[in-house]
Structures are given as C-alpha cells and as structure tokens.
Amino acid sequence: KTKTAMYEALMFLLIWYSVSTTLFQMIRSKIFISDCVVFFDTIATFTQTIVGWVVLAGKNVAQISDGISNPVVAGIINWLIRILICGGCLVGVGILLAFIEIKIAGLYKKYCWDMITIMVILVSMAIAIYFGDWIKEVLPINLLFLLLFVQLVYVGIRWYVKGWRENRGYV
C-alpha cells in the first residue's frame, strides 16, 4: 500500500508539473495564443450570425401582429411572438448542446478514462505548443483546432478498439 501511494503521488506530481510547464509555455507562445484568439473569434462570429438570423426570423414572424387594429395589443403580441421564437430557439439549442455534451462525456468516460488519455492530451498539447512554429510552416492549420481534431481521432480509435475487443470477447 505504501508503494502504491508513493507511485500515485509521484504520478500526480509529474502530471501536475507537465501540465503547469505546458500551460506556462502556451501563455508564452504567440502563435498558439493568436490561434486561440482566431478560433474563439470564429466561434463568436458564427454564434452572432445565427443569433442575428433567429432575431430576424422572430421579427419577420412577429409582423403578423401588424394586422391588429389596437396598437397596444399589437405591440404586446409582436413582442410575445419575438420572445417565444428567440426563447424557443435558445432553449432548443441549450437542450441540444447539453445532450451532445452528455453523450461525449459518456463516451469519454466509457472508453478513455485512464492514464493513456492523460498522456495523449499532454503530449499532443506539448507538441502543438512547443513545435507550433514548425507545424504552421508545414501545415497551415489552427493549432487549437488541431488539438481538438487529435482528441477526436484518439477517441474514435479508442471507441473502435474497445468495440473490436468486446465483440471478440477480450474484455
């Protein structure tokens, strides 16, 4: 028990050291930081575009209330329709994102909840951060997107291998 506790403590310290030095290097890496800014700016622009479309759709549908002769009632119905459409879309997207997050977390916990996953995450982060300049010269890709893509491929491979082993009775 003592050796196991020492081993686990040593592994925890090594992982903590690896994560902290990698994160400190990430903060110093201008290329990685600029790719993070571009990545999140693209997500924000996409989100703003979708929200703009939803608000425009709500405004267009709410014009149904223009046929009502009472201006107070027309205004109330106009805003109710807008709120219902925008709120409904927001709730729908929230439920969809929660469902996707639960499914991904379930897959990750079922197939990838081990030390190998931590090592893959650390190694892929370290490679993207320390060798970001060289990666950008060879492959013009966003480094944060590359990290997410590597994780996606890793989870897919682990999912396939686990299913292959289960089907053949190795687990």
Tens digits of per-residue pLDDT, 133-143? 899 999 889 99
The DSSP symbol for 171 reads -
pLDDT reported for residue 142: 92
pLDDT tens digits along 98-148: 999 999 888 888 878 888 888 888 889 889 888 988 999 998 899 999 999
Averaged pLDDT for residues 1-29: 88
Give me the pLDDT at residue 104, please.
84
pLDDT at 71 over 90: no
Q: Which of 11-20, 58-67, 88-97, 119-128 has the lowest mean pLDDT?
A: 58-67
**pTM metric for this prediction:** 0.71
Place of tokens 């459409």: 85
**What pLDDT score was predicted for residue 65?**
80
User: Average per-residue pLDDT in the chain?
Assistant: 88
Helices within the chain (DSSP H only): 2-28, 30-62, 71-112, 115-130, 132-138, 143-167
When pLDDT is cut at 50, 70 and 90, the band that residue 49 belongs to is: very high
| Contact call for residues 77 and 68 (beta carbons, < 8 A) | yes
